[in-house]
Structures are given as structure tokens and as C-alpha cells.
Structure 1
């Protein structure tokens, strides 16, 4: 199966939830603010102001706005990167482990 066919198939296999939430990315000890655009059971799409590369490992934290709900913490890996015109980039992350 070609990468394009697999990408399309995978997008249809997982329900994506639009999130638009502030997140913290931790990469090699640095914390970088970003925005989570959408989230599925196996990954997420983010917009970040810093250049990452495919294969980078990132810890992701999404704080909960509600005291009764725990936020999300996950170990992830960058699987795709798309440069944006404003210098930001969109990142596709696969979730390796939920904390």
C-alpha cells in the first residue's frame, strides 16, 4: 500500500476531535508552547512556532480547564511536518504512551 493510500486510510480509521487547545511540548529539556488542533486515540495535530523534525520525541501536556478533569500527558513522536507561511509548522504526532 502506498504512503498516500495508507495516510488516507488511517485518517478514516480514527475519529478526530477538533480541540484548539494550548499545549506544552517538552523536547530535550526545552518547553515550547503550541496549539493542539485535533486529537484522536492514536495521535494529534499541532501548530508550533519552532522547527521540529520527523522522528523527534516530544512530551505533550494539555492542561485541563476544569478542576475535576485531569489533563492529558503523553510521550509522542513526530511523524510528519508541514511548514506554514508565517514561520510556524503543523506537526503530526503519534502517541507512544499516555502518562
Structure 2
């Protein structure tokens, strides 16, 4: 079952942490600096100046502020896209794997 096939209520079974931190997205060799608004064990919401589409596979990197801890590196899939008046996108990214 894909993330898109999951029932809406099931998607909310995981706690979302409000984090508002810098994130780098990479898609087809293009890098985008963005803001991660929230994070759960299965996905994240990101605000970015991109033109990504549903189904796009995106590498996501959140750097660690602590030298002892590795940052988050994940392969994700765009499962939701919303467009803001300023042209930025609100992206729902499902985590497919952690690197």
C-alpha cells in the first residue's frame, strides 16, 4: 500500500513535531533551500520555492545543530502540493527510506 492509498485517519496516527527548521531538498540535481514546518516518523511538511509535483522523489536533508549527532537524510515522495500566493509550495513529503 502506498502513502496515497492510506486512509486519512491512519495518516494522523503518528505524532507530528512542530520544528520550523532549515532543510535542503534535492530533485533531479537541483537543490532547494526550504523550511521544514513539522516532522513525524512517516513524513514532513515543507515550505519551499519549488515546482515539484505529486509523485516526485526528493532527497531531504536536515542538518544537525550538534556535532555529535548526524542530521536527517531521507528519500521522500511528494504526496501533497499546495501553492501559496507568493509562489512557494507547501509540500507533504512521505519518508520512503532513511539514509
TM-score in terms of structure 2 length: 0.90
Aligned length: 95
Residue number in structure 2 paired with 1:37: 37
Q: 1:50-79 CA distances to partner (integer Å, 9 max, x unpaired)?
A: 111000000000001111111000000000
- Give RMSD over aligned pairs: 1.5
Give the CA deviation at 1:11: 4.2
Give the CA deviation at 1:25: 0.5
Give the alignment of 1:1-99 within 5 angstroms.
Answer: 6-7=7-8, 9-99=9-99
Give the CA deviation at 1:12: 2.8
List 4+ stretches of structure 1 deviating above 4 A.
Answer: none
Q: 1:37-58 CA distances to partner (integer Å, 9 max, x unpaired)?
A: 0000000000001111000000
CA distance in 2 between counterparts of 1:48 and 1:56 reads 14
Give the CA deviation at 1:17: 0.3
TM-score in terms of structure 1 length: 0.90
